[in-house]
């Protein structure tokens, strides 16, 4: 089984590479892809760079060039749901693009004709995540993740995204990865640990908690690999 694990920033994949050991490096299309064998699983790991465009390229490359049959995303996010504190984990049940706006033509926010407003994550991977959470005695919130090409550090924008999409967290890559995986029929799972709460302190908190929250997410992903390996 070949599994892709991606992040957006180098900080999001470094704890994975450190834990998983020696890897083969391939440079392709402006990114570095690391191939590792772990407990009989063939893994391809990469960070895309930030945002929907770069994450689309990386997800598609992992599937089309490297042959990934499942895709796991590990990273950090801004929390919306008040139950999410910094360091807490959220697994996306579905994802949407909060910055898509062709409402001038009567379409709802986030909707593109012939696309889907919300893309659902793979149920089997969510089941595995719940098993891992209970084994680790960790809280794992499941909910909607809203994606857009904006670092949200503004209460008005955050509340608009919360109200419009009933979103629990927001970030900049999940929905674009979901579009790729959905189109190519690859089961996917998007995990994020909260680094900030998308308010006026977001920039400061993001810098402060990026590393520790990225590690929370990566540690959880490795436990999921342990389950996928058996
Ligand atoms: C994007 N990622 C942040 C990239 C920040 C700084 C150089 C996650 C994220 C996020 N995205 C954490 N907090 C966020 C927020 N408040 N808004 C958007 O996936 C790059």
Report pLDDT digits (tens) over 131-141.
Answer: 999 999 999 99
Task: Please give the average per-residue pLDDT across 109-126, as a whole number.
Answer: 98
- Residue 115's pLDDT is what? 98
- Residue 189's pLDDT is what? 99
The phi and psi torsions of 166 (rounded to 5 degrees) equal 50, 45
Reported pTM? 0.98
12 a catalytic residue = yes
| Domains, in order of start, for the chain | 2-228 (3.40.50.1580)
> Which residue of the set 11, 171, 196, 216 is catalytic?
196
- Residue 11's pLDDT is what? 98
Confidence check: pLDDT of 22 > 80:
no
Distance CA 185, CA 208 (A): 37
> Which residue of the set 11, 12, 88, 171 is catalytic?
12
Q: Which two tokens stand for residue 134?
A: 């209970």
154 a catalytic residue = no
Confidence check: pLDDT of 128 > 80:
yes
Report pLDDT digits (tens) over 91-103.
Answer: 999 999 999 999 9
Residue 21 pLDDT level (bands cut at 50, 70, 90): confident
Task: Please give the average per-residue pLDDT across 169-186, as a whole number.
Answer: 99
Residue 221 Cα to ligand 1 midpoint, Å, equals 19
Task: Please give the average per-residue pLDDT across 35-61, as a whole number.
Answer: 98
- Extended strands (E) in the chain: 2-7, 24-28, 31-38, 41-47, 70-79, 89-97, 119-120, 140-147, 169-171, 188-196
Residue 201 Cα to ligand 1 midpoint, Å, equals 12
Confidence check: pLDDT of 230 > 90:
no
| Ligand 1 and 170: CB distance under 6 A | yes
Give the atom of ligand 1 at the shortest distance from the alpha carbon of 202.
16
| Ligand 1 and 77: CB distance under 6 A | yes
Residue 75 Cα to ligand 1 midpoint, Å, equals 9
Task: Please give the average per-residue pLDDT across 209-216, as a whole number.
Answer: 98
Q: Of the given ranges (14-23, 24-33, 208-217), which has the lowest mean pLDDT?
A: 14-23
Residue 218 Cα to ligand 1 midpoint, Å, equals 16
């Amino acid at each position: 089984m070949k599994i892709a694990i991606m992040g957006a920033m180098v900080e999001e994949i470094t704890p994975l590479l450190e834990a998983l050991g020696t890897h083969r490096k391939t440079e392709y299309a402006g990114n570095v892809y690391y191939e590792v064998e772990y407990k009989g699983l063939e893994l391809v790991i990469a960070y895309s760079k930030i945002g929907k465009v770069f994450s689309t390229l990386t997800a598609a490359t992992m599937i089309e060039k490297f042959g990934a049959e499942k895709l796991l995303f590990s990273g950090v996010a801004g929390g919306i749901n008040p139950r999410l504190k910094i360091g807490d984990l959220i697994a996306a049940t579905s994802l949407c693009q909060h910055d898509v706006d062709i409402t001038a033509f009567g379409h709802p926010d986030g909707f593109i004709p012939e696309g889907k407003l919300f893309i659902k994550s793979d149920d089997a991977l969510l089941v595995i995540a719940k098993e891992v959470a209970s084994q680790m005695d960790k809280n794992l919130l499941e909910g909607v993740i809203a994606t857009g090409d904006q670092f949200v550090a503004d209460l008005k924008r955050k509340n608009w995204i919360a109200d419009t999409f009933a979103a629990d967290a927001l970030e900049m890559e999940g929905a674009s990865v979901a579009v790729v995986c959905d189109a190519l029929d690859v089961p996917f799972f998007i995990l994020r640990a909260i680094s900030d709460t998308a308010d006026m302190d977001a920039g400061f908190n993001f810098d402060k908690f990026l590393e520790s929250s990225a590690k929370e997410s990566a540690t959880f992903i490795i436990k999921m690999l342990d389950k996928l390996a058996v």
